[in-house]
Amino acid sequence: WTGTPLFDVLKASGILPKARYLVYFSIDPDWWESIDMADVQHPQTLLAWGMNDGDLPVAFGGPLRLRVPRQLGYKSVKFVNRLMVTDSRKGFVSALEFFNSHRRYHSLTFSPRSALRPMSKKICTHLRLPDAHREFLLR
């Protein structure tokens, strides 16, 4: 990964000492996440724009992705477009908490593996990319 340590970017912007959390947003309007300052200050937490000695491919979150290797993968948000430093997480829930609590996701039923039949199902209808917000269908 090639990028700038996140804490260096925030220090250059003049964050206040009382800052406790970073809330960050993706170009997807329904996706945001947060981490505490311990993760922000970790030297491996990067605003990444490159990978494998080249530009960061769109499929991996290019042009800009937040890499938080000390956390689970969903914290490493692709297509980052906004950072907000705050002293409280009040009013913000993680995207995972939001989706898990959203009513339409509680209708899932689970079956034993032996009971599953092969099937085809559309999972995602489109992906918004930062290049002029074009939309592409995933198949």
- Residue segments in the chain with a per-residue pLDDT below the cut of 50: 99-116, 119-139
Residue 29 pLDDT: 72
Contact yes or no for 67/15 (Cβ under 8 A): no
Residue 23 pLDDT: 86
Q: Is residue 103 a part of any domain in this protein?
A: no
Residue 50 pLDDT: 93
E runs forming strands in 32-116 = 32-36, 46-51, 54-55, 65-67, 80-86
Q: Is residue 113 a part of any domain in this protein?
A: no
Helix or strand or coil: residue 123?
Answer: coil
| Number of domains present in the structure of the chain | 1
Q: Is residue 101 a part of any domain in this protein?
A: no
Residue 93 pLDDT: 54
Q: What is the pLDDT of residues 83-120, one digit of tens each?
A: 888 887 665 555 555 544 444 434 444 444 444 455 44
Q: Give the C-alpha distances (Å, rounded to integers) separating 134 from 26, 41, 95, 129.
A: 15, 34, 23, 6
Which domain CATH number covers 31?
A: 3.90.420.10
- Domain hosting residue 34, numbered range: 2-95+122-131
Residue 4 pLDDT: 93
- CA atoms lying within 13 Å on the CB side of residue 128: 12
Q: Is residue 117 a part of any domain in this protein?
A: no
Q: What is the pTM of this model?
A: 0.62
Q: Is residue 54 a part of any domain in this protein?
A: yes
Alpha helices (runs of H) in the chain, residue ranges in sequence order: 6-13, 37-41, 95-101
Q: Is residue 29 a part of any domain in this protein?
A: yes
Q: Is residue 69 a part of any domain in this protein?
A: yes
